[in-house]
């Protein structure tokens, strides 16, 4: 539409474009409703999405994309999931020489990386865990894109974690992090409680 607004486009063509956009938006809304209905009809999918969207910055769109990946592939670790999504930094080499800074491998589905990228931007403001990581990396001199890449990777690790442990994101602790005197102190507390929950859940799984 921007091009038609900037040029002298005939009225009939403009109307055709408007109608095409409206049709596509209607089809997109129907498709989204079909996806939601499918998830709501399957308790396991609905439970997994509820766990995912318990993480600040992970909404239904991100949740649905990750559900599609994690329910069609068997990942043994968060690192495997991050590698599949192309979020692992790799070095460019020529012989024995390293060329520039490490960059994301960008393997796997680009559409999911695009969704995660937007979620990572939101998470640097509203997810206390990732916000602290992002600020810490920038203080160390990392570039904005490098820090965002790490934020995307951390977000994926959190998503894998809530599904692995069957525990929602620690929403109550988010308030503690936001009101703590220092981000670093709050992050230490957060990590300790996260590890405790993870260990308890894994031990319970091994004992069953």
Count of CB atoms within 10 A of residue 32's CB?
13
What confidence score (pLDDT) does residue 193 get? 53
The whole-number average pLDDT for the span 176-199 is 49
Residue from 165, 171, 172, 174 nearest 200 by CA: 165
CA distance 133 to 151: 7
The yes-or-no verdict on residue 175 having pLDDT over 60 is no
CA distances from 54 to 37, 47, 57 (A): 20, 11, 9
What confidence score (pLDDT) does residue 196 get? 54
CA distance 84 to 80: 6
**Angle, alpha carbons 30-31-32 (nearest 5°):** 90
| pLDDT level of residue 141 (50, 70, 90 thresholds) | very high
Output 183 or 101, whichever has higher pLDDT.
101
DSSP 82-116: HHHTT-SEEEEEETTEEEEEEEE---S-HHHHHHH
| Contact between 147 and 107 (Cβ < 8 Å) | no
CA distance 173 to 81: 26
| Structure tokens belonging to residue 81 | 């999931």
CA distance 13 to 9: 7
CA distance 113 to 106: 8
Output 159 or 208, whichever has higher pLDDT.
159
| Structure tokens belonging to residue 82 | 């991050």
CA distances from 32 to 24, 29, 61, 111, 142 (A): 12, 5, 9, 16, 37
| pLDDT level of residue 180 (50, 70, 90 thresholds) | very low
Pairing, β 89-94 against β 97-104: antiparallel
What confidence score (pLDDT) does residue 144 get? 92
Torsion of CA 118, 107, 67, 172, to 10 degrees: -50
CA distance 191 to 153: 16
What confidence score (pLDDT) does residue 195 get? 55
pLDDT tens column, 93-119: 555 544 556 678 788 889 999 999 999
What pTM was computed for the model? 0.69
């Amino acid at each position: 539409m921007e091009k038609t607004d900037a040029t002298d486009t005939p009225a009939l063509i403009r109307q055709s474009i408007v109608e095409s956009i409206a049709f596509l938006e209607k089809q997109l809304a129907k498709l989204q409703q079909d996806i939601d209905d499918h998830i709501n009809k399957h308790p396991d999918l609905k439970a997994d999405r509820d766990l995912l969207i318990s993480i600040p910055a992970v909404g239904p769109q991100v949740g649905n994309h990750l559900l599609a990946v994690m329910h069609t592939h068997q990942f043994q670790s968060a690192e495997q999931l991050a590698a599949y999504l192309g979020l692992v930094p790799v070095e460019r080499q020529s012989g024995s020489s390293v060329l520039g800074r490490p960059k994301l491998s960008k393997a796997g589905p680009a559409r999911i990386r695009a969704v995660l990228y937007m979620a990572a931007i939101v998470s640097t403001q509203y997810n206390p865990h990732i916000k602290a990581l992002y600020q810490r990396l920038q203080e160390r001199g990392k570039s904005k894109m490098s820090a965002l890449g790490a934020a995307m990777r951390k977000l994926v690790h959190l998503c894998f974690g809530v599904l692995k442990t069957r525990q929602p994101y620690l929403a109550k602790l988010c308030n503690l992090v936001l009101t703590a005197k220092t981000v670093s102190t709050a992050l230490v507390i957060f990590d300790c409680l996260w590890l405790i929950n993870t260990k308890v859940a894994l031990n319970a799984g091994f004992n069953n």
